Structure formats: structure tokens, C-alpha cells
Structure 1
């Protein structure tokens, strides 16, 4: 009996030893690891492209949109020129006709292309006569027109000649830039006159248009130019649908431009 018991115990011990050897020699099966994609921090916390603030500027002079007053005035001006407010494509249509004439003249005189929006704000490209006597798409007063080479008399009024009046405007704008050393201030002076703007600069000891306190018309003038630039450049963004323009022809590939 004792002998049988010893044999049984020996067999059990051997089996335990074999089992232990099998356990430690077997490679454990681990659960499949999940595929982890590492995202750079700058992408993880960055805004999507469509949420980025638009880089608004006039003649490459940026607006300080961190200033709440500036941001409000710009948004207000853009809202006034949306399709819901204007209900017309007439400005786009007229711009398509005159921009091809105005743009090369601006380039020839070294004037930033953004000044082509001045006629849109000044006259809506109507070329009529204001209550004060300004006339043509560039809204020249008779005396200023004559100063910059335009004939204005009872029989001839070259303010109504698009090419000649644009050349005169370029001469005037270039002179204003030389005086104020800023395209933004040159635009403001075009609207209000250099003498009045210079007085405001000296009185306020400030030469940044966006920080100055000016009369209502001049104080909103550059904002209107930037708003017009936005509306004409991105018509669909502001509700002007089904509109094909010369302005967008420049954005097409060259092989498509050739067939338009």
C-alpha cells in the first residue's frame, strides 16, 4: 500500500514539473495592439482653414483686427455691401468693364491695384456729378482736375474720359503718398483733402488711419474700400451667386483663360 502511494506521488510530481516547464517555455499570446496615430500639437490645437481670420488689408497695409473698434467697423461695412443689402450685381458688371482699363494704368504709375476700388466707392462707377461739383468715376472737383492735367470747360470735360481721368488720379494719389508715406492715408486724403488730413494728424499727434478720429465719411472710407475689395473678389461668399467676372478670369489656369 505504501509502495503504491509512493509511485502515485512520484507520477504527480513529474506531471507538475512537466506542466511548469511547458508554461514557462510557451510564448504568451498578447492581445493585438491598437494602432495609435500621433498628431503634432500644432495640428491638434490649430483652427481649421475656414475658421482662420481673413487677412484683410488695403494696399498691403494690414488692419489691426485685434482692435475691437476696427473689427466692428469693417464687419459693418462688409455687411452693408452684401447681396442681401444691395440686391444687385451692377457694381460687379461695371467693374468688369472698367478694371481692364484702370489696372494697367495704375501699374504704370506704381500705384497699388487696390486703388481701382476707389471709383466704386466714390461714384459707383456712374460718373455723375455730385452736389459739390465733383464729376466722373474718380469724382474730381474742377480745380483739382485741371491741376492734374484734365481739361474742364463749357465744351470739354475730361473728367468723363476714363483713361485720362485715371492718369490724373494716379498723379494725384502718387503725390499724396509722397506727402503721407502711407497708402491708407493717401486714400483718406483723396477723400478728405490733404490739408484737412494733415491738420487732423497734427492735432491728434497720430498718423495711423485706424487709430485716428475723423469725420464720418473719411473715417469709414478705407473700410468701404476694403469691403468693396472683398465683395468684388469673393462674390459668392457674400451672396452674389451665378456671377462670372473678369476679376476671376485671372484665377483660372492659363489654358482655360485662352478659351474665354
Structure 2
């Protein structure tokens, strides 16, 4: 109550004292300038970044450096194209709906953008194919027909249902969505072996092959570029509000 009275008195006296009022306005202006500085903007933005509802440990220098590398790779400056956003707008809503029906976090919808660039005709040198880049054996295991002139890995809806079943199975093994993403890339058995050998189940501490070690970073970066187009140089989408700004901008003030 005493502090309240003092603050009220200070406000009242500042109205009577134009010099004091000007000083208070300067203090408020300085506080706002600090809050809106590039450093604070970056800090607030990075604190908002999640993958599968789990915050990325961007306070660690090695994690921040690696994340920024892939964020730059997917930025407009590097891509010089709006193809990513066009493909996302066309396919991701349908993928997200299917994943949700299985209880899979929405962020996994970015896998086909990373794996196949949403091109079902792509086949890897190892034989992985379709939107989700399934190996033939894994595709069959999760209900897809592959062979005899038919390849359901190229069917977006059917392959997404299969991917959702596979992801759910991996979650049953690892009970951690970040590890599920890594296991999707390297395989559950190989990831378990790495965890057992290295004595840690922290993805960001595990020493994995380059592709798997960068997989979650790529997914998280792709998510940021798609959800915050204006922030990452995709000015054609400037009329859309970036998700980060909607959620966090006022917290900076």
C-alpha cells in the first residue's frame, strides 16, 4: 500500500513538474529501445522456438551455430524462390490433419519437405522413395503396396498414414519426439545403439552421422521459415502475420 501511494504521488508530482515528467518519459523510451534492440529481439525470438513442443537449447553456442546454419540455408536469400511456401501451402494442411488424427505433433509435417522436397518421384541411391522417402520394406511393414507396377509411397494420403503409424511406433520405443525424428532418419535400432554406446539420450549431445545429426535442426529451421516468412526474407508473404510476431512481440515491451 505504501509503495502504491509513493508511485501515485510520483505520478501526481510529475504532472505538476514538467522536468520530472520529461525525465520519466526518457526512461520509458530508453527501456523500450533496449527491449527492441536486435539482441533482445533475437533473444525473444529464439526463446519461442520449439520442435514438437520442446524448446531447442539455443542458449548453447554449438546448438545455436548449427541451427543458424540451416536457418540461413532455407532463407529467401539462399533459396531465391517461393517454391517452399507454395508446396507448403498446397500439401501441409492435409498432412497436418492426418498426423493429428494419430496424435503426432504437427511439426512432423515438415519431414516430406526435408526428405523429398514434396516430389514423390525422387528415389534415393539406397531405394528410399516417395514423399516420405520410405524404404520398400518399411513401406510394406506399415501398410503400403510397393512393387508389381504399384508404388503407394507416391500417394500423399496413403504414405502419410503409413508415416504416422511409423512415427507412433517409434514414439513407443523412445518416448521422446526429438529422438523419434532422429530415429526416422537413421532407424530405431541404430539410434538405440548410439544411445547405449554413448550413455546419453540427449539428441543435442549425441554424436551421430552428419545427416541424422542435422535432421532436427533442418526440421526446426524449415518450420521457422514457413511460419515466419516475412522474418526470413519471403516478402511476398509480408501481408501475412508471422507467428512469432503474433505471439511474442508484445512481450518485448
Equivalent position SS for 2:143: coil
Q: Could you say which residue in structure 2 is the equivalent of 1:47?
A: 35
1:145 and 2:139 aligned? yes
* Contact 2:231–2:242, Cα closer than 8 Å, also in 1: no
Distance 1:45 1:202 in 2: 49
Structure 2 spans left out of the alignment, 5+ residues? 1-15, 247-253
* Contact 1:133–1:141, Cα closer than 8 Å, also in 2: yes
Aligned pair partner of 1:205 in 196, 199, 222: 199
Pick which of 218-227 and 98-107 moved more. 98-107
Equivalent position SS for 1:232: helix
Q: Could you say which residue in structure 1 is the equivalent of 2:187?
A: 193
Q: Could you say which residue in structure 2 is the equivalent of 1:35?
A: 20
* Contact 1:96–1:247, Cα closer than 8 Å, also in 2: no
Pick which of 79-88 and 165-174 moved more. 79-88
Instruction: Name the CA shift for 1:106/1:247 in 2 (closer, same or farther; >3 Å).
Output: farther
* Contact 1:121–1:224, Cα closer than 8 Å, also in 2: yes
* Contact 2:85–2:226, Cα closer than 8 Å, also in 1: yes
Deviation of the 1:44 alpha carbon: 7.6
Normalized against structure 1, the TM-score is what? 0.77
Aligned residues: 218
Higher helix share: 2
Give every structure 1 segment of 4 or more consecutive aligned residues whose post-TM-superposition deviation is greater than 4 Å: 43-46, 244-249
Structure showing greater radius of gyration is 1
Instruction: Give a deviation string over 1:178-198, Cα, whole Å, max 9, x none.
Output: 111110000000000001100
Q: Could you say which residue in structure 2 is the equivalent of 1:178?
A: 172
* Contact 2:194–2:208, Cα closer than 8 Å, also in 1: yes
Q: Could you say which residue in structure 1 is the equivalent of 2:73?
A: 80
* Contact 2:140–2:146, Cα closer than 8 Å, also in 1: yes
